[in-house]
Chain A
Amino acid sequence: MIGSIDPLLLIASLMVASTPILLAAIGELVVEKAGVLNLGVEGMMIVGAIAGFAAAVESGSPLVGFVGAALAGAALSLIFAVLTQVLLSNQVATGLALTLFGIGFSALIGQGYAGRRPPPTPKLDFGPLSDIPVLGPVLLRHDPVVYVSILIVAAVWVFLKYTRAGLVLRAVGESHDAAHALGYKVVRLRVLAIAFGGACAGLGGAYLSLVRVPQWTEGMTAGAGWIALAIVVFASWRPWRVLAGAYLFGGVTVLQLNLQAAGVAIPVQYLSMAPYVITIIVLVIISADRRRAAQNAPASLGRVFHASS
């Protein structure tokens, strides 16, 4: 019976299903590498979803929608940045509040947009390349955002691993006091990281409302932001593992629905919990070297920084 599932279509829809979580998770990874725990991912995603939707509907251009979503996500995250970096509030409580605020605020501005259709996001045209067997349907028939999300992962990896600025960002996340003593602007750097995380979460939200579903519905992220947060931790703060985790989660979600639709005789309960269980197990196994995984966790994660002298 599994034969009736087309693996090419499956992989193609897997990439689409995973992109919102991937975008939100890669943004959060940078934020956490800078030593900040922002639990407001869900709130920033949903505000990005409605802001992107509204901008796309009003302007008729999906590009404007995605830019607007990134700006809105970043703007919302700056509230968090001011509260936690300037006013030194508790990051966990502030992040949770940001999520609650984002859900309510998005419902408010979304009042006039329920039931409307966004302008379609065109797929990138690779010309004859999209007809290459296997590779074409899987990789070369997507909308630009799918590729942008992979490029962001690659850029974050290069940035953290090979650039001086990335090293400084990691230093701030490891020991903000030491970084401060060396003369780095801890607060400024963290604010920038938080804004980047917000922009990515906003993009992820807009991908939901503009491409994956595509429509605006209140509360439509339905927990995707929390999955993104979990993936960052289970991927032990490594960009390519975040990609693996997000694709695995999205992939198993799509696969289990396909297995059901194809009538495969596996109890549905197991299929439904499979995305969560498999993602956690795989990521725990690939991060199993506990000493190295612990080294990877930013030592100052979630701690308040105050330049007392």
Chain B
Amino acid sequence: MQRRTLLTSTAAALVAVSLAGPALAQEPLKVGFIYVGPIGDLGWSYQHDQGRLAVEKEFGDKVETVYLESVPEGADAERALTQMAMQGADLIFTTSFGYMDATINVAARFPDVKFEHATGYKRAGNVATYNARFYEGRAVMGTIAGRMTRSNKIGYIGSFPIPEVIQGINSTFIHARKVNPDVEISVVWAYTWFDPAKEADAARALIEQGVDVILAHTDSTAPLAEAAKTPGVIGFGQASDMLDFAPSPRVSSIIDNWGPYYIERVQAVLDGTWTSTDTWAGIGEGAVVIGEITDAVPAEVKAEAEALAAAIADKSYHPFTGPLNRQDGTPWLAEGEVADDATLAGMNFYVEGIKGDIPQ
């Protein structure tokens, strides 16, 4: 009898709890973030965390945010995501390309949790993707690089040979060549998103090869710190403004501004209107911001770069506009033709003029 009483009362309690669920609608929405580096990298992960803080500021008590930093891409990411989902996160942002498969796998096991994966291309009913058109910013950086280089050699530190990085290399090169037909680009693959010592070594290797403009697609400020050691070498802030290195070597920057997107998506979950979408916003939408161009850049170059940014923002110019050939000389875009998003999202080739091969 006693046991039966216990069972009944437990059942009653369960019912009470489940009934209380909807009634407790004031319970905050739990939003999770997974970062690939430390939030103190002052680059990529730092910017995503600024987005998280913007969400907290916007919604106050209505949301609770949690985050995990320095989560390795691969199996560890799946474990971290599972843990976060089990701890009751309602919406999880996974902020690196390498989390793509982990996100899809975990999302299949937690159909009630909503996932947002940055920079990837795999979606599901509860997995949306979002990215920013960094290549638009790279077009502006490439213009400045082409005008500023004295040795006609610009260097690019790539992380991994994925479309997002290759878009950046191509866009930089196209626009540097446009203003300086003699310019050459050297690419060094670091095979890491975050390793300040290695990033610095890569920058050093490029500088020793005569490069005097350094662009980086890795997450820390180390390439700028290395550039600062050699007078005359300039670089750009990547992902974050990196103003500590202004006015030189940092002469401008590409700033990832995730806050507005994160606020919009959290609002959608709160309103119950969230659906799996694919968002790819650029300078025009404010997702990519060009950091202040310093006085180390001549006024006419600055004006040229700003005009280009404005043209990209109002959509009158697309950074990938024909005529453009692939590296092997085969035509890609005809005169006036504009690259479609699908090709860009899967970009796995260099444009004509870049030397070297993409690691496959």
Please report A residues at the B interface, Cβ cutoff 8 Å: 4-6, 9-10, 13, 17, 20, 107, 110-111, 114-117, 208, 212-215, 217-224, 253-254, 257-258, 260-263, 265, 267-269, 272
Q: Which residues of B contact A13 (CB under 8 A)?
A: 201, 204-205, 208
Interface centre among A116, A208, A218, A262 (most CB of B within 10 A): A218
Give me 13 A-to-B residue pairs in the complex whose CB atoms sit less than 8 angstroms apart, sorted by A's number: A13-B205, A114-B40, A217-B41, A218-B40, A219-B70, A220-B196, A220-B220, A222-B194, A222-B196, A254-B201, A257-B204, A261-B208, A262-B209
Inter-chain contact B359/A263, CB cutoff 8 Å: no
Please tell me if the beta carbons of B225 and A213 are within 8 angstroms of each other in the complex: yes
Name the one of A217, A253, A268 contacting B196, with C-beta atoms under 8 angstroms: A217
Closest Cβ–Cβ distance, residue B148 to chain A (whole Å) = 19
Residue B348 at the A interface, CB < 8 A?
no
CB atoms of B38 and A107 under 8 A apart: yes
Binding site for A on B (CB under 8 A): 37-42, 70, 155, 161, 186-192, 194-198, 200-202, 204-206, 208-209, 211, 220-222, 225-226, 228, 242, 244, 355-357, 359
Cα(A220)–Cα(B198), bound, Å: 10
Question: Can you list the 3 inter-chain pairs with the closest CB atoms, starting with the nearest?
Answer: A218-B40, A218-B38, A115-B244
Chain A min CB distance to B215 (Å): 13
Which residue on chain B has the smallest CB distance to residue A223?
Answer: B195
User: B186 contacts A217, CB within 8 Å?
Assistant: no
B226: chain A residues within 8 A (beta carbon):
213
Q: Are B225 and A214 in contact (CB under 8 A)?
A: yes
Chain B: minimal CB distance from A301 (Å): 29
Residue of B nearest to A118 (CB): B225
B188 touches A260 (CB 8 A): yes
CB distance from A88 to the nearest CB of B (A): 32
On whether A213 and B197 interact (CB within 8 A), knowing A9-B208, A257-B202, the answer reads yes
Q: How far is the CA of A223 from the CA of B359 in the complex (A)?
A: 24
B356 and A213 contact, CB distance less than 8 A? no
Q: Given the known A-B contacts A115-B244, A254-B201, are A217 and B357 also in contact in the complex, defined by CB atoms under 8 Å?
A: no
A221 to B187, CA, bound (A): 24
B residues near A116, Cβ cutoff 8 Å: 244
Given the known inter-chain contacts A6-B208, A272-B191, please indicate yes or no for A20 contacting B197, CB distance below 8 A.
Answer: yes
- Residues B205 and A254 in contact, CB atoms below 8 Å apart: yes
- Are the CB atoms of A219 and B38 closer together than 8 Å? yes
> Please, which residues of chain A bring their CB within 8 A of the CB of B222?
213, 215, 217, 220
A106 to chain B, nearest CB (A): 10
Q: Which A residues are in CB contact (< 8 Å) with B40?
A: 107, 110-111, 114, 217-219
Q: Is A272 a contact partner of B195 (Cβ separation < 8 A)? A: no
Query: Given A117-B244, A212-B197, A224-B197, does the pair A217, B42 have CB atoms closer than 8 Å?
Result: yes
When distances are taken between beta carbons in the complex, the residues of chain B under 8 Å from A269 are 359
Q: Which residue of A lies closest to B226 (CB)?
A: A213
CA distance A214 to B199 in the complex (A): 12
Cα–Cα distance between A263 and B185 once the two chains are bound (Å): 10
Q: Tell me the complex Cα distance, A208–B198, Å.
A: 11
* A222 contacts B197, C-beta separation under 8 Å: yes
CB < 8 Å: which of A6, A222, A261 contacts B195?
Answer: A222
**Alpha-carbon gap, A268 to B190, bound state (A):** 9
Q: Is the CB of A257 within 8 A of B201?
A: yes
Q: Which residues of B contact A267 (CB under 8 A)?
A: 357, 359
Closest partner residue, chain A, to B223 (CB atom): A213
Cβ-defined contact, B186 with A263, below 8 A: yes
CA distance A10 to B40 in the complex (A): 31
Expressed in whole angstroms, the minimum distance between the Cβ of B335 and any Cβ of chain A is 30
User: Please, how many angstroms separate the alpha-carbon atoms of A224 and B357 in the complex?
Assistant: 29
How many angstroms between the C-alpha atoms of A111 and B38 in the bound complex? 12
Name the A residues within 8 Å of B204 (CB-CB).
13, 254, 257
B136–chain A nearest beta-carbon distance, Å = 26
Name which residue of chain B comes closest to A216, CB basis.
B40
In the complex, which residues of chain B have a beta carbon less than 8 angstroms from the beta carbon of A262?
Answer: 186, 209
A211 and B161 alpha carbons, distance in the complex (Å): 30
- B225 CB contact (under 8 Å) in A17, A215, A260: A215
Minimum CB distance partner of A21 in chain B: B197
Contact B208 A263 (CB under 8 A): no
Query: When the two chains form their complex, are residues A253 and B42 in contact, meaning their CB atoms are under 8 A apart?
Result: no
Contacts of A5 in B (CB 8 A): 208-209
Chain A residues lying within 8 Å of B244, measured Cβ to Cβ, are 115-117
Q: If the complex has contacts A13-B208, A215-B222, A263-B356, are A253 and B198 also in contact, measured as CB distance less than 8 A?
A: yes
In the complex, chain B residues whose CB is within 8 Å of the CB of A258: 205, 208-209
Q: A17: which B residues are within 8 A, CB to CB?
A: 197, 201
On whether the beta carbons of A268 and B186 are closer than 8 Å, the reply is no
> In the complex, A215 Cα to B202 Cα: how many Å?
16
Closest to A120 in B: B229
Contact among A215, A260, A268 for B221, CB-based, below 8 A: A215
Q: How far is the CA of A6 from the CA of B41 in the complex (A)?
A: 32
Cβ contact within 8 Å between B221 and A217? yes
Residues of chain A within 8 A of B242, CB atoms compared:
115
B191 touches A261 (CB 8 A): no
A20 and B206 alpha carbons, distance in the complex (Å):
22
